[in-house]
Amino acid sequence: MAYRTHSKKDPDESLTNNKEQNVQISTPSIHPKFAFNKNALSEKYKLKLKDAELKFVVAGSHSFNSLENARILTLIQTSIEIGANFGLVDVQDIFYGRKTIHEEALLKFTQYTTQIRSLLDEPIQQHCLAGTDDIWTDDLMKRSYLDFTVFFVNDAYELKHTILSFGDTPITTDQGSNMIKALSLTDEARYSCLAHRTNTVLETAWENVKILNAEFKMFCTSVSNLRTYCQQSGGIQFKLPKTLKSSSGTRPWRSYFLIHNSLHQSYESLLIILRERGEQHRILQIDPQLLHEISTFMEKFSLIFDNLVFSNQLTLQNVIPSYYRMSEYCIIDNKRKNSIINLLKVQIAKELIEKYLTSTTQLHWIATYLDPTFKDLFVIDKSYLLEQKKSIKDVSSTTVSANSFTDEIGRQLQIYERTLYELPEDSNPLIFWSDQQNVLPILSKIAKSVFVIQASSAESERHFSIAGQVVTEQRSQLEPECLESLVVLKEVYLNKTWPK
């Protein structure tokens, strides 16, 4: 039985996420241009330009890297083009001030939301729209913001997403039974973030083993204390081959791997540094073999997370295979029955059943079945296969209005089951169903409605990172509507959907 639960990575270990739709703020391809002599400039202007750039860095406390930021270069290039057309002009005569650009941000935000809402009409009618949401509170003003991101599948069977709002609009309701009923969403409308559920599985299992095993508790305490010492002491982190990582507040699910892997990679270098300082006792309390084993074990779960949190790729079909894959990771090594790793495996396996599996729904199973590369997952259990087929027929009743669809959907299911599809393991199921529109029209429509749903709310979490970069101590007085426009427009820019 094959599972596609490992994502591809670039050579630099960065996660790939449909690069065509991502834009880097600093463009590496333009960097070599800065190494050449500025032959087009006289010595006078070379010195003048270097002096102006240095003042920009020093006076504004900007990074050196900001001088190579693609957006700053675009702004300067626009100014040069204006000068080329109008001659020597004063920058005060062509640059707009903060109030004008503030208003432009609000106008552009309104323009985009109007544009995207009209674009969503068709996916709504075709039941090919889903959303993720979450609440974020800024650290400075303690305002809470609701992020709402929509995902939709267009006529070309392409998955798209956009942040629709990031506001602090308060909602007041009464306690009437109608409101309570409306807001008490069922499993058919609300789905748990399986990335968070997986993190809860690991977190609970981790704490359980700390209670059960004093050695593991001491190990965890020593790792935490060492990280704190290295972060608070100057001159350590930059000497290490891999910076010691800390946990992530908004997206904690990779922390168990990143923390222990970074320490494992830097263990020998850190031991030398600490000996020079007479602080080697801080690391000698950490068993390097156990550190290596935990790092290796947790890496497997880190790869599972990758396939649950993508936003530009389908994820719902990965939920069920991920459960089985994680269960396989927890098979006990009988040669080391009392080892800490085995204790972790036992606790994780238990929590997977109690916290992960109970959070899955019929739709997660349907999504897996409708992925041709996972279709054989159900062949082992014939009774369960029949249950899935019945579920698809039930879903079809809301998709197809005709009363005579039962025989047709049964026929299409038989064709789908009998046909062998030679597809790459990392193929996009929507591409397959786009090709099957004429052969399996009902199943194709169901696939569009199912695969638009996300396995996690990670995209909303990513927007919190953007908001955290916007709301700084210097910009803590931004009004909520301005923050919303900046966060939404940043996402719009990255997705190359900037309104004209």
Query: What count of Cα atoms within 13 Å lies in the side-chain half-sphere of residue 471?
Result: 27
What is the DSSP annotation of 1-23? --------B-TTSPBP--GGG--
Model confidence at 22: pLDDT above 70: no
- DSSP-assigned beta bridge partners for residue 134: 147
Model confidence at 328: pLDDT above 90: yes
| pLDDT cut 90: percent of the chain above it | 38
Q: Express each pLDDT in 438-472 by its tens digit.
A: 999 999 999 999 999 999 887 877 777 777 777 77
Adjacency order of strands within the sheet including 144-153 = 129-137, 144-153, 159-167
Q: Mean pLDDT across the stretch 86-97?
A: 89
Q: Quote the pLDDT of residue 27.
A: 40
Model confidence at 198: pLDDT above 90: yes
Contacts 24+ apart (CB under 8 A), 245-253: 250/136, 250/461, 250/464, 250/465, 251/195, 251/309, 251/458, 251/461, 251/462, 252/199, 252/203, 253/195, 253/196, 253/198, 253/199, 253/202, 253/302, 253/305, 253/309
| pLDDT, the chain, mean | 81
CA distance linking residue 68 with residue 369, whole number of Å: 48
Model confidence at 111: pLDDT above 90: yes
Q: Quote the pLDDT of residue 17.
A: 43
Q: Quote the pLDDT of residue 392.
A: 65
Q: Mean pLDDT across the stretch 222-238?
A: 89
Q: Which residue has the higher pLDDT, 186 or 368?
A: 368
pLDDT band at residue 296 using 50, 70 and 90 as cut-offs: very high
Which of 57-66, 221-230, 310-319, 459-468 has the highest mean predicted lDDT (pLDDT)? 221-230
Model confidence at 182: pLDDT above 50: no
Q: Mean pLDDT across the stretch 218-239?
A: 91
Q: Quote the pLDDT of residue 1.
A: 39
pLDDT band at residue 351 using 50, 70 and 90 as cut-offs: very high
With beta carbons less than 8 A apart as the criterion, state whether 427 and 373 touch.
Answer: yes
Q: Quote the pLDDT of residue 235.
A: 83
Q: Among the listed ranges 166-170, 184-188, 243-247, 311-315, which one has the minimum average pLDDT value?
A: 184-188
Q: Quote the pLDDT of residue 252.
A: 62
